[in-house]
Structure 1
């Protein structure tokens, strides 16, 4: 599976506090492990073991197993209890009440003060943590307080950001106990005794090869899923993770029983259709086109943007990746909360109209080759060439693309954006489409769309779901009608578990704390 580094990290008006209920506590059953080891594969090693600094898929998996979060996301993207049993929220604050009896991985009590210290460290700009822009808003100031007797932790923002509660489910928000906070360098390099708050502890680490995790006895703060289908079976008492960089090799090991779980983006997934395997297909990447709208680039012309949209066929783009993805109607797919479903506001494919506007126009196209070698970028190049444009494609690795496009250090006109969105929110993409240009902000395309900015601001100023979706609807309409974004399709991933194994899949990824051994 391709690795993608996080590229995400405005503003709004105050609103009255709203109670967000979360009474379900079905995850409170103690951990009861049986059997093992449960064996699964990832394509690359971890960059860090510090949850706050994680930026790659393996980092997220390790963090989820070792460090609990205050809340989790269910199959429908709703928020469910984790370390916190309930919470209240306003657009600029949230108070979480912790479950009783929480402990760190060394058995010592986990207090509200400990949780506050962990969140305070994550929010501190000096930490250089990932995901803080999504959690608190770009550049936002955060105050964290606690009350040990009441088991409460309160976060207060300098300005409204209504995604505060959902963002506490991010693996970057994983709570680290005092031993880890005292030695952050050691935390990043490997296991620190007593630092964990999650259900598993890392007991053996062989960098580049294999890792072994042990289930904590009596752990009772698992996600309280109500929508996700929790499989039957026992939690494995031991989980062993191996580095297998080649998908075909992982498929061979899964088919012979050497692995219990692996993920596939390529054709090897087809080997497991039927035959008793548990296959869960979810969107991994959301692909869309964004323009450089700065002066001197063709993207500054609305007519050019519309013509590019007319030249592209999202259904044909989807077929480049096997045709198993979803043709999108916004910068997120239909699994995301408040995502647009109105096809009428999306520019329709019209090659004849595109040719009238693009014939002879020179375009500098950029994209990452980290997704199927950049085959989607090649499709966009050929579609624009078919409309008469002269297209120079820069098909480069993730790091180079991020420098060229996201940091705007390269010379580009059009880019194919490969966007990871594990949170299922529109915010993850939206903060890349508004605000200051790099390096002061994240608006890599230099987009100036007042209607979008207003809708985005209103969405972040309320915790009322109906009002939030209405605001997001207006924001998406403003962006799509101006063709600032051209939606394409998702690229799915197949999560394959063995005949005697299964797991919960939420927010586009497997929850590694939900593995089950069956039979």
Structure 2
């Protein structure tokens, strides 16, 4: 049995790159070691608690999902070779011959246990209600080789849920205490050494032949090392020197790497740069008029260039491409920049300038504690300083609080010590946003910003119960309702550089396709 843990409910988990791969010269070389730089330690490696992107990037080397997706969004077999879909359930037939890293066969009961562990209230899994819909359960038939995922009522993306959770198998399925610093998955790599804060070493499983689209481990590197490199400039230097083989680069070092001969590179979208207002009863952001005024005080176009270091592009939605519901949900739905209107709105809301220029209401100063992750590059730091300066002009006292990812999670969900947070979210389905944007507020749920948008919730309720294509208009309208209410403010669609040297690899939504990793001569 697992010891209950406090859920680390942070949307940072879902910060992810869209599909992309590196391109490099040279013929594939067998054996050897592929080393990848990760900006932060992945922490506990239990897949049911995998909320941080750095955790899931690491786990993707060792674990499989029931189904996978191609670059154009098509669902393809994973551990499941076929499936039948009904409005409120999907039955997967598992392929034969897949084995766990400890040699045990992968059974439907392993899949069911993995899903039901996530949904168990004692687990307090942060991906329940986000990647796995509320109320879902799994039933296995080991004799028939099938597992059925079902929901209490129709759910539009029920098939796609099969790509949203990792299957734990073998001994790990029976004792989750083994998962903190070890892996028990059916993926092509097995963790053999964990040195927190420094590196994680994986060894290949040559017997792996059941990857998506026929992927095997036949030509994969013998060893993969995930090296913790918090400083992006250091990671770039290690790439140039050939000390590491891959890294995802967000900041200004991109230009240097793109100009480096022999460097494999591909620029891909990586989710939005955006900020949220805390809407708790005692917060300035509880008042929608204040949220809209604070948004009007910002030149979002200028902020976009600063936050992305000039490498971003206009954001058009919250879901990563390829979107199941294409369309622009942002344009025309975000309060436009108007400093005079912002000032007038704050006056009307009762926040009047004091002797020192800071606005006051009922004896309380208009103070915003602005929270952001220092691991997201220099652009995010510069964006924080820009926002602070703009809001100070509007009569707001701003206190900047830059922290590492794990402290950000703690502040969001435990101490709740923030008023505005810069928090990129990258999801592949609109349903994955619902737990963050509605429902129980943190620390009881994933709704870290204490949102309560009735229109959003009503539209989502209608969209969820019809097949995905039929509900797309309502999913799009629901997203726009968030922006109109200034619940969150989309600023820019970020891009990242997938860089490599002496190797090639592919990632989808920030996760490795590990059978694509190749060393090159």
- How much does 1:282 deviate? 3.3
Q: CA deviation at 1:136?
A: 3.4
Q: Counterparts of 1:44 and 1:294 in 2: how far apart (Å)?
A: 30
Structure 1 counterpart of 2:96, from 97, 100, 122: 100
SS at structure 1 position matched to 2:276: strand
Alpha-carbon separation, structure 2, partners of 1:245 and 1:375: 18
| 1:345-494 matched pairs, under 5 angstroms | 345-358=333-346, 360=353, 361=359, 362-370=366-374, 371=376, 372=378, 374-386=381-393, 388-397=394-403, 398=405, 401-406=408-413, 409-410=416-417, 412=419, 415-421=420-426, 423-462=427-466, 464-494=467-497
The residue correspondences of 1:40-439 to structure 2 (distance < 5 A) are 40-137=36-133, 140-170=134-164, 173-191=165-183, 195-224=184-213, 234-274=219-259, 275-295=261-281, 297-321=283-307, 322-332=309-319, 336-338=323-325, 340-342=327-329, 343-358=331-346, 360=353, 361=359, 362-370=366-374, 371=376, 372=378, 374-386=381-393, 388-397=394-403, 398=405, 401-406=408-413, 409-410=416-417, 412=419, 415-421=420-426, 423-439=427-443
| Larger mean Cα displacement after TM superposition, 204-213 or 310-319 | 204-213
Question: Which runs of no fewer than 5 residues in structure 2 stay unpaired?
Answer: 1-7, 13-27, 348-352, 354-358, 360-365
Q: 1:107 to 1:157 in 2, by over 3 A?
A: same
Structure 1 residue 70: Cα displacement: 0.7
Separation (CA, whole Å) in 2 of partners of 1:256 and 1:298: 49
| Matched-pair contact (CA < 8 Å) for 1:36–1:236 | yes
Tell me the residue number matched to 2:17.
Answer: none
Displacement of 1:515? 1.0
Q: Which moved more, 1:314-323 or 1:302-311?
A: 302-311
TM-score scaled by length of structure 1 = 0.81
3-state SS of 1:492 partner: strand
Does the 8 Å CA contact 1:451/1:474 hold for their aligned counterparts?
no
Q: Kindly indicate whether the alpha-carbon contact (under 8 Å) linking 2:66 and 2:79 is maintained by their aligned counterparts in 1.
A: yes
Structure 2 vs 1, CA of residues 264 and 320 (structure 1 numbering), >3 Å: closer, same or farther? same
The 1:357/1:333 distance shift into structure 2, 3 A limit, reads farther
Structure 1 residues 339 and 131, CA gap change in structure 2 (3 angstroms): farther
Q: Deviations over 1:163-196 (max 9, x none)?
A: 44323323xx2212231123322232325xxx33
Contact kept, 8 Å, 1:143 with 1:156, in 2: the verdict is yes
- Offset at 1:130? 3.5
Q: 1:224/1:115 Cα in 2 relative to 1: closer, same or farther (>3 Å)?
A: same
Q: Closer, same or farther in 2 for the Cα pair 1:101/1:287, shift >3 Å?
A: same
Unpaired segments of 5 or more residues in structure 1?
A: 10-31
- Conserved in 1, the CA contact under 8 Å of 2:300 and 2:491? yes
CA contact (8 A) 1:364 1:391 kept: yes
Calculate the TM-score normalised by the size of structure 2: 0.81
> Paired residues, what number?
475
Per-residue deviation, 1:482: 2.8
8 Å Cα contact 1:77-1:424 kept in structure 2 = no
Report the secondary structure of 2:212's partner residue: coil
Contact 1:35–1:236 at 8 Å: present in 2 too? yes
Could you say if the C-alpha distance between residues 220 and 307 of structure 1 is closer, same or farther in structure 2, counting changes exceeding 3 Å?
same
Greater RCO (Cα-Cα under 8 Å, separation 6 or more): 2
Deviates more, 1:453-462 or 1:287-296: 287-296
Q: CA deviation at 1:449?
A: 2.6
1:339 Cα offset (Å): 6.0
Counterparts of 2:412 and 2:239, CA distance in 1? 38
Q: Is the 8 A contact 1:287 1:491 kept in 2?
A: yes
Once residues 249 and 403 of structure 1 are traced to their aligned partners in structure 2, the CA distance between those partners, rounded to angstroms, is 27
Name the CA distance, whole Å, in 2 between partners of 1:419 and 1:44.
16
- Alpha-carbon separation, structure 2, partners of 1:443 and 1:57: 18
TM superposition shift of 1:467: 1.7
- Residue 167 to residue 206, structure 1, CA distance change in 2 (3 Å): same
